[in-house]
Amino acid sequence: MLSILAIGLPILFWIILLVIIGKFNYRHNLLFWVMIVVNFLAIWQLTQLHAGTYLWACFLASIVAAILVVMLLIINEHDVFLRRYTHLLARVEVIATTCWWIAAIFFQK
């Protein structure tokens, strides 16, 4: 039951997020950070019995990837608009945690 919830809840959040973005032109960061937390909770639920350090590896890799992307943009554009880069960081982090969540689904088997 919990593994079904760990697979279904992020899918439901993705659908809600995409509908809100498409229909209401949502540009704030709150729902993206909520999606990141939901992905990490799902990863934890899917891998808690199989690999104790998998969640921490996912967390570290996704944070490092997102920060590197934002740092590259700051270096290339030579400006620091914190609001713009936290906006981008949230989106890159959602993509990274979703990739790790999909890997956790396959890792669970």
Would you state the structure tokens that stand for residue 93, as one six-digit string? 């982090």
Q: What pLDDT score was predicted for residue 52?
A: 66
Backbone angles phi, psi at 19, to 5 degrees: -65, -45
Express each pLDDT in 35-66 by its tens digit. 888 888 888 887 777 666 776 777 777 778 77
Global model pTM greater than 0.85 = no
Residues of the chain with pLDDT under 50: none
Would you state the structure tokens that stand for residue 27, as one six-digit string? 């540009």
Q: What pLDDT score was predicted for residue 69?
A: 77
